[in-house]
Structure 1
Amino acid sequence: MGKVRAWTARARTSFAERAPFWASRGELGAWEQREILRGRIAELEAVLDAVAARAQADIGANGADPCYAEKARAELQAAKDTISHKWHPTMRRAAHLGVAQSHVDSALNLMVWMSSLDDITAHLPDIVARIDEHFAPGDPRRIRSAAIARKLNDPKNAELRPGDRAFLAETISLARRLKRRETLRVRSFVRIVKVVTVCLTVGAVAIAVAGYLWKHVVPLCFTPHTGQRYSIVCPTSSATAGLTRPTTTQVAAITRRADYLVVEVVGIVAASIASAAALRRIRGTALPYDVPVVLALLKLPTGALTAVLGLLLMRGGFVPGLSALDSTAQIIAWAIVFGYSQQLFTKWVDNQGQALLDAVRGPQSPGTPSDKRPCEPPGP
């Protein structure tokens, strides 16, 4: 038992030493955002020292309390530990950035509690803008924050009461949590799309393998009647059958093992073209989650499956007048059409992905009303 414990301890130590290397491999494009966050933490540490020193000197004058500085420093240190990967054993891509950002937001909220009146007034535009982004125009919290901003911008009535400070601190904290929740929804959406893409890919591969092993079970062949003779037309081969309708044995003899594979490859190519065309409607994002990429990858196995299923529907006579394609070229052409038609189904997923990205609002978000900011000084 003691040997097992010793081996487990050595394994944990070895993993902790290699964690930065493995985490950097799994991090990929999030490295730049990690360094941006690291720089932000260093900036806040310097600002926190200045705010704490000012709060210590002015304690009692503006209601500032320097005891929040210790907790704020602890939150910033927790953020630095998180992005160092030492306490991130799962190594999920970009998850550590969200956790670190939560610690940074907590430090910022604590700094609101300890900041002086001048500091609060200087940060009012950012505070009010963030509140406006995440609360409806008629929300009481948004209305009250606007009233506080107007009062603080009035030199004659500028006074930060303890209740106003508490309200601003709690409201901006809630706004940051709402933004984080919207970001988590984007991450959950990306994971769901990835799982669905993997499942569809497995299904497409299974169909191709089944078609290769049992080519005569459900052949993708048509038996058009031209003149007085019947023909057998498959995706990769064709032959003349005779004066009578071809039997199942005759159709199976013309079928090739690569029929399903060829149709799926054609469907994937058509879906890739549709995916490239759909990217024009997807705007970029600063989030460390590749929403446009996963949406584009979803279309590929979907196109392979719609190409096969569309041809099966035509072979079964589901589409009147199109149940007897008379050439291999026509089969391939319809496979292209059906592969591209996956856009009819995946466009709803595209719209949902873009809606989630729009929900994570930023300074340039189109969802922010364009009315006059309540933090602007009142006119004469």
Structure 2
Amino acid sequence: MATRRPRVTDWRLVVQSRLDRVRADLSALDPLDPLDPESARWREVAVEEAAVVEDMLTREESRWRTVASWWSGWHIERAWRSLHEAEIAVVAAGNGFLGRLPGLRGRVGEYLDDDDPRRVALDELRPGEFPLSVEREIVVDALRAAFDRSDFAHVGSRALRNKLIAASVVLFAVNTLIGLIGFLQPGFIPTCVGSERLPTVCPSGRDAAGTDVWLVQVLGAFGAVLSAVVLLLRRRPSLSPYVMIGYQATIKILLGASLAVVGILALGAGVTTGLIGVASQAALLLWAVILGYSQQVATRLLDSYADRVMDQARPLPKAEGQR
């Protein structure tokens, strides 16, 4: 009987490595202290949550359920939430926090503001100043607040990803419909440009043809690809379970194709008379490329918003002097 290969994705690799670390830390804990019953309960929680994470990583679903899970992201977010609870439980199960405080403060500092009372309490914690139960509550509250911020950011990332997918489907349908209309009814969507002083030129170099609209769309998409390459070059690596860059590039390419057609219509309507003159087929095609690249003006807002969402999901360390 053939066995199915386990699915390997970036988020699974990260979660699996951290799950292995949780289990290693759990096995390295000191023997149970009869005077500290809370430690035993936290160890049980760690084992239970680790089992949930393992189930999310290895769960097999039907094709349709896989698509639904991918869209809703429930298995990804359930795995991360359970992993976070397991990590909290392992920390809380220890008999002290002296050796863990630097790492705990660094992790909490990635997500919580400097004046957040839970972060302030953790920063001011001095091992031995309070009973172990009080120290444990301070640590657990701070970690949960930090992880909650991360988990909510994952939800925001998924919502943005789904919106980008929906917008891409709509743009693809609109571009396809416009291309089909231009192909079946040549000249119905006028892509030829002319004026009193300049001859009329068409994208195909002759009278209106069925491929004119598609040719403009392809060149507009090519112009958008150039801006997508710039996006790829400046994009920071991210270990977020939701990667936006592919969907952002798709939006740029499809929008570039649409704007190229709209721009050529504007040139043909004389909107730019006195400013732009198109004297040849090469000039018209070049303008299609330029108009496709011009979508960068509109999608820069989308890129900035996606950057903020991804930074919340996976914040970068603060720069020197930034507080």
Q: TM-score, normalised by structure 2?
A: 0.87
- Would you say the 8 A contact 1:81–1:87 is kept in 2? no
Tell which structure's C-alpha radius of gyration is larger. 1
Report the residue type matching 1:143 in the other structure: V
Residue matched to 2:77: 98
* 1:365 has 2:284 as partner: no
RMSD (CA atoms): 2.8
Which residue is 1:70 aligned to? 44
Residue in 1 that maps onto 2:59: 85
Residue 33 of structure 1: how far off its partner (Å): 4.0
Contact 1:64 1:116 survives alignment (8 Å): no
Specify the code of the residue in structure 2 equivalent to 1:85. R
Q: Which secondary structure state, in structure 1, belongs to the residue aligned with residue 39 of structure 2? A: coil
**Where does 1:126-275 land on structure 2 (aligned, <5 Å)?**
126-148=103-125, 151-152=126-127, 157-226=128-197, 231-238=199-206, 254-275=207-228
Distance 1:355 1:309, change over 3 A: same
- Hey, what does 1:375 align to over in structure 2? none
Deviation at 1:340, TM superposition (A): 1.0
Q: Any idea what SS the aligned residue of 1:108 has?
A: helix
With over 3 angstroms needed to count, the CA separation of the structure-2 counterparts of 1:320 and 1:100, relative to structure 1, is same
**Counterpart residue number, 1:334:** 287
Q: Aligned to 1:203, what secondary structure does the other structure show? A: helix
Q: Match of 1:145, as an amino acid?
A: L
Shift of 1:84: 0.6
Aligned pair in 2 of structure 1 residues 35, 233: CA closer, same or farther (>3 Å)?
Answer: closer
Q: Which one of 35, 48, 54 corresponds to residue 26 of structure 2? A: 48
Aligned-pair CA distance for 1:367: 6.5
Query: CA–CA distance in 2 between the matches of 1:369 and 1:72?
Result: 37
Who is 2:93 aligned against? 114
Residue identity opposite 1:170 in structure 2:
D
Contact 1:194 1:294 in 2 (8 A): yes
Aligned partner of residue 359 in structure 1, secondary structure: helix
Q: Find the aligned partners of 1:85 and 1:280 in 2 and give their Cα distance.
A: 35
The alignment partner of 2:151 has SS state of: helix
Gap runs ≥5 in structure 1:
1-16, 239-253, 372-380
Q: 1:115 to 1:368 in 2, by over 3 A?
A: farther
TM-score under structure 1 length normalisation = 0.75
- Match of 1:122, SS state, is coil
Per the alignment, residue 59 of structure 1 pairs with 34
State whether residues 240 and 313 of structure 2, in contact with CA within 8 Å, keep that contact through their aligned partners in structure 1: no
Contact 2:118 2:141 in 1 (8 A): no
3-state SS of paired residue (1:176): helix
Letter in 2 for 1:194: I
Contact 1:186 1:357 in 2 (8 A): yes
Q: Does structure 2 retain, via aligned residues, the 8 Å contact 1:220–1:311?
A: yes
Which whole-Å deviations, capped at 9, do the CAs of 1:247-276 have from their partners, x for residues lacking one? xxxxxxx21111111111111111111211
Give the CA deviation at 1:36.
4.3
Partners of 2:203 and 2:216 within 8 A in 1: yes
Q: Which amino acid aligns with 2:86?
A: A
- Between the aligned partners of 1:184 and 1:165, the Cα distance in structure 2 is 28
Structure 2 counterpart of 1:203, one-letter code: V
Unaligned runs of 5+ in 2: none
Give the Cα–Cα distance (whole angstroms) in 1 for the partners of residues 248 and 103 of structure 2: 33
Tell me what 1:11 maps to: none
Contact 1:358 1:365 in 2 (8 A): no
Q: Output the CA distance in 1 between the equivalents of 2:220 and 2:297.
A: 14
Return the alpha-carbon distance in structure 2 between the equivalents of residues 113 and 80 of structure 1.
Answer: 21
